Every structure is written in structure tokens, then in C-alpha cells.
Amino acid sequence: MDDVLERERTRTATIDEAEHLLQTVYNLCGHTTGREHVASDSYHLPAHISPHTDFPGGGSGPKTAGRIYDTVLSDLSMCDQYITLDCLRALYGLNYTPGAVEQNSYGIVEYTPEAYLQSYSQTEYQSFDYNGESDLDLQYGMGASFNNPLDALDGPYCTFEGGDDPTQDSVYPGPNGYDGPEACGTATPTNVISTSYFYDEADITPLYAARQCAEYVKLGLMGVAVLYSPGNYGVASNGGLCWIATQTQGGTIFNPSFPGTCPYITSVGATMVAPNSTVYEPEVASEEVISSGGGFSNYFAMPEYQKKASRAYPDISANGANHVVAVDGQFELACGTSCSSLVSGGIFTMINDARLSAGKSTIGFINPTIYSASFAGLFNDITMGDNPGCGTNGSNATVGWDAVTGLGTPNFPKLLAAWLELS
């Protein structure tokens, strides 16, 4: 079989068709918090297909809250209901003009079947400055920093011989995509990489997690900052799964996500503008439509920069509630740590721009720096809210670092000044 799956061999199925083909029943599962998730207890594949299939996809996507009116929402008094780029600029002091665009770069990871259409971002930017996840990622990842050139690399760019294990890593074909020579390990990585996808830590072995984490060490040493979303289920993991003897929605033992637990990435939790509040008041932990992921690793020891018993996450946070995204010429609201990771990546990309303009290096792996005494107080501390899951209230936001919002949200002017002071 070729690396690329031809378009004529793919199709979109209704729920009824998918249930018939997979011999399953899809349910819209509701949580006591009001969150909903499409899920099935099991699925079945024919014997001749099963060996060639990692898992059936397409059953989930970014959390959305339905369509909203095609209105220019530039009024900052409405940021508790609709987060736009103007809201983010006001929240975090994002007033910056880039000076080193040709030297700088920001990488946003997407997987098939997600797609990007330039017209969606044009609609977003023209209005207030959805194929779902990819639209959210690119509109806010690009918009939060500056007008980055977009360079898309898809599945055929690499093969699993470059390091991925097809028994663990899904294959993501890109029909009619990249057709040049395979070049794993030779392309220059971007200065910041943000990924809005993750595993349950329990779904992979400790050795596999350690091996993947080692690759992030290499990126950090190359001057690359790697950001990950920690999930949208609080102290639970994907689908609200927790532990008893196995992963189940009825479990009570907290279930961390990976790579958020890897000590060599930066995990970004989600905050929100509290109802009836403004961008000039402190944010709170996101716990309405989604519950910001956070907790402690079962695999990794606490790194020196955190100085505790086991790796804890998130490291920082940013707004992840009610982001307005454009799709099919309409606007929808999206919520999740996908939003917060992308916004943070855009902010660190601007800091890289300033350092490059000053003849300095990129910031690289940021955790040892942001946990250091010299950076104390440079994030907006979040002290309200929690991250419920597993039948509990989870952890609670408090003064200083916590397992809901980490060190807090970026204060761009303070962080920019501090990083420019470093060599």
C-alpha cells in the first residue's frame, strides 16, 4: 500500500452508517458539569481489516458551543462571552511590532483529517481580527503573534523508518500533499512548536513515554520551545476516564495526560474570563464548558526546576474559553486547552522575535527559566477555580504554582523585558 491514501478511498459517514460498519452504538455522554462527549464502549472490525487499522477516528474534535452571529465583536466588555484577538491583546498586554520575521518561526501540529483553508482565517482576521481544531489552531496561533508565513508539511514528508513506531504511532496520510524527497531530521525545526493533541499517560508504557520525552530534550537543546495541551477533563484524561483497576468513566483515581507529564515540554492549562467580569479583572480557572487538565505523573520524577516528588503539570496557563473561530463563513465558539497552548506559543514567538532582533538566541526550553527566582511574579497568578474530574473537585487554584493553572498566565511586557535581559 502506498504511504498516501487516495481521496476516492475515503468518505464521510453518518452516525447510523458508522454504527452499522463498526457494530457499535455511539452515545452522547453527559457529565455532571454539563460537558458532552461522543463515545462508544467498543467497536468491531472485520478480520481482514483489523491488522491494518490503529483505531477508528473522527469521533471527537474541539469543544464547540454552537454557531454565533456573524457580528464584529470588538467590544472588550463582552470578552467573558466571546474571546477574540482583541480580548487576548488586552488580557496579556500583546502590543508588539515584529522585527525579525525572516529569522523566526512557529510550528503548529495538525493531523489528518484536519484541514486548513486560508479563507477561514481571512474571515477571522477581517471580522475581529471550522473544520474545527485546525481552524482554531491556525487562526489563534498565527493571530496571537503576527502574520507568520504558513509552511505545511504533511505525512508523506516522513516515514516511520525515521523513528516512529507504527504499532504505537498512527499513520497520518496527506492526500495530494508534500511530494518532495523525504527529509526527516534534515529540516530546520521551528523555534516554537504547539500541539493540541495528547494521550492518556496510562495508554503507553513507561519506556515508550521516556523515549518520546527524550526527543523533546533534543529539541530543547536545539533552541526549540515545545508546548502541549494537557486536556479538557480536569484530573481525568480523554473522555473523562479515571482509574479503578482499569480506565473507566466510573473510576476515582486521577488519570494524567501525556506528553503533559514529560518534564521537557511546557504544559499549558486553560483559564477563562469569569462571567460578568472584564479583561481588566483576574481570570479564573476554566471549569465551565471544559475543565483544565492538570495533575501529577505516574511515570516521571519531579524535575529539579519543580523540586517535588513527581512531575506535576501544567506549567503555565492562558485563556481557553469561548474563542471565536471561523468555519464555512460562520463563527463558532471553541473551548479547550488547545486554545491556551496556541495563544502561549504565539506569545513566546513574539519574545523570540525580540531576542533575534537584538542579536540573541531563541528562548528554547523555557521551564527552568520560568520557575527560576528571577522570573518570580512575571506571570499573572490565578487563585480562583478548580479542575473537577474522577468524581471530585480535582485540584484548586491557589497563590503560586498549582495543578490547575501552573504559574499563571503570561504578562507579556514583563516576560519580554526579563528575557531581553538574559544573554
Q: Which residues are catalytic?
A: 161, 165, 338
Q: What span, in angstroms and rounded, lies between the C-alpha atoms of 29 and 35?
A: 8
- Which three three-digit cell numbers place residue 420? 531581553
Cell of 124: 477571522
CB-based contact 318:344 (threshold 8 Å) = yes
The dihedral over CA atoms of 145, 146, 148, 154, expressed in degrees to the nearest 10, equals: 30
Residues in Cβ contact with 278 at an 8 Å cutoff, skipping those fewer than 6 apart: 76, 77, 79, 80
β pairing state of 106-109 and 192-195: parallel
Count the Cβ atoms, other than its own, within 10 Å of residue 418: 18
Q: How far apart are CA 282 and CA 130, in angstroms?
A: 30
Q: How many CB atoms neighbour CB 108 within 10 A?
A: 24
Binding-site annotation: residue ranges = 381-382, 400, 402
Quick one: how far is CA 151 from the chain centroid? 19
The DSSP code for 352 is H
Task: Enumerate the known binding-site residues for Ca(2+).
Answer: 381-382, 400, 402
| Alpha-carbon Rg for the chain in angstroms | 21
Start-end of H helices in 320-379:
337-357, 367-370
As a whole number of angstroms, the distance between CA 214 and CA 261 comes to 13
Q: How far apart are CA 327 and CA 395, in angstroms?
A: 35
CA atoms within 13 A of residue 131's CA, in its CB half-sphere: 17
The CA-atom distances, in angstroms, between 399 and each of 198, 380, 385, 405 are: 28, 10, 12, 10
